Every structure is written in C-alpha cells, then in structure tokens.
Structure 1
C-alpha cells in the first residue's frame, strides 16, 4: 500500500489494479468501498503525479485488432462549467469558463504538435475523461457510437494523426487516431 502522502488520497484509501480490466481503482480496506473515481478529499495534484509514475499505461498497450468499420482513438478532454457533466476524476466540480478550457487545451495542443509530450502522456494526467487511466484510449468505435462532432473529426484522421481542437457537449477534445 502506498503512503497517502504520496497518492494524495484520504486516509485509508489506496490505489489497486483491477484483475479483469487491468485498470487502477480506489479501495478502502476497512470499509471495503471501491470505486473508479477518486474519493472526496483527494489531492488531485498529488494523485496525478502518483498515477503518472505508477499507473501509466504508456508502453503497455495491448495489441488489438479492429472490428469491421471501426477505428480506435485516444483523446484528451478538457471540461468547463457548461460541459454536459462538469465533473471528472480530477475535479468533483469543474468551474472554469469555456474560454479558460480553450486556453488550457490550446497549450496541450501546442505541446503535442511540437512533439514535446505525447497525447497519451498528457491524457494520463490532464484529461477530464476516465479514459485518462488508459492514456486516453477509447478503444474501437464505429459510426453512431460517439457524439457527432467527435466522430466526424475522428474518422477524418489518418493513423497517428492528431486533430485540431474539437468541441462537443462534453467539452474540448484533442483526438489521435490509433488504428
């Protein structure tokens, strides 16, 4: 069990890895409470640093075969207070304005497009989507599976290509086509 001063989790909570999904989750042994989202009282900055160091999926992605007509993408999501669900694993209540979210994601876009950091690396610690624990990997999806704006942008990408900023009801995205 990692020291809570390192993980940023409240006392008694620890990070474990699911045997079935091979993803990290949060567990409190005394109460037997388990959850995918961090518990209330978590220090998001400490948790981000701990997760990036100990639970990043970078380099460990499994080989997957695309089902017919489907593509595989990763994304980085930055939510704002007008997002469909203005909460995430990083923040229980997102209060930033859409213009602030745009400024944040523009910074990430610059880092990715200048090859300073990969989208997967940034998504692991910065994305407001629970896919962050998988480097932003959304797996395979087909037409009609995602929000229209997201899907339209994703299907236009060549393998390895990163989109411009895409706005959906969920927030602002950078999308990378993986397969």
Structure 2
C-alpha cells in the first residue's frame, strides 16, 4: 500500500483530455477512472486533497505558480497504453516505426515548421485540435518521463523523442 492508499504498483495520473485524475498501473498498462479494488479510500481521499486539487489559476503574467505550459506531438504505436486515436481506430505500427515518424517531424521543426502546425494533423492526442497545447501543469500531473523532459526544457525549446506509456512525443515548452 502506497502513501496514496492505492494497491502496490498503482499510481494517480492526470488526464489532459478530461482534466481529471485517473488511476494507472505501469506494470500491466491498465488505466481506469475508478480506484482499483484494494484501495484504502480514506487514505486516497486525503492524498487526492493534498496532491490533486484543481489546477492553479494563472497569475497576472499568465503563469500558474509552479506550473509550466507545453504543447506536444504524440505518435502512438501498438504497445501504447491505448493503441487508437482520433486519427486511427487501431494503431498497429511498431514503436520503432513511431520513433522514425516522430524523427521526421523533428526534422521538419528544425527546418522551420511549427510543432503546433504539425500536431493539428499528425498528433495522435486529442490535444491536436489545440495545436498540441496541454495547458498549464505542475509536478505529478503528467507521466513521469513526460514531466521530467518538459521541466528540463526552457521556454520555446523542443525536446528530442520522449517515450511514455502513451507513445512517443516531441514536447515544446511554451511558458
């Protein structure tokens, strides 16, 4: 049992499309909206109150305290947590193929295209309609690999390929 009250190997993550927390098991790749069986609900309630309160309001400069803003371009593959998207009902490409596709987008960005313009038509994330904009987020709200890469970027900078359970990403820090 973890400090969150969730059974071993379960963690709380944050859904950008619904702006809600969800429960994820990285070992089995299972995700769900409801707490898994065996959860200490009282402990979970306290953990959620401290760690997953509603998103902070931006200050006068448009910055949410302790939070950054990023856009991303996601390419899913057959091993992704949910191998489907608004673009394809069933994604069958390999992770290696997804990385090659993403490297092609990375090259286009280096040649002057914007990540957002590519994301609109090519990203497998529902954020594509917003040019990949994920809004403000803080520590603990994204998958760890994504968060680590995003917080390491300077505003305007684009990451190299970042792998998460969702697929492979290019991340651009906006603020």
TM-score w.r.t. the length of structure 1 is 0.63
Equivalent in 61, 69, 88 of residue 72 of structure 1: 69
Corresponding pairs, count: 116
Give the Cα separation in 2 of the matches to 1:141 and 1:108: 24
CA root-mean-square deviation: 1.3
2:109 partner SS: helix
Tell me what 1:106 maps to: 103
Give the Cα separation in 2 of the matches to 1:72 and 1:96: 29
Q: List structure 1 runs of 4+ shifted beyond 3 angstroms.
A: none
Tell me what 2:94 maps to: 97
Q: Deviations over 1:68-97 (max 9, x none)?
A: 000000000000000000000000110111
Give the Cα separation in 2 of the matches to 1:113 and 1:156: 19
Tell me what 1:133 maps to: 129
Give the Cα separation in 2 of the matches to 1:154 and 1:93: 28
Unaligned runs of 5+ residues in structure 1 are 1-62
1:111 partner SS: helix
Q: Deviations over 1:83-130 (max 9, x none)?
A: 000000000110111111111001001111221x11000000000000
Equivalent in 60, 81, 84 of residue 81 of structure 2: 84
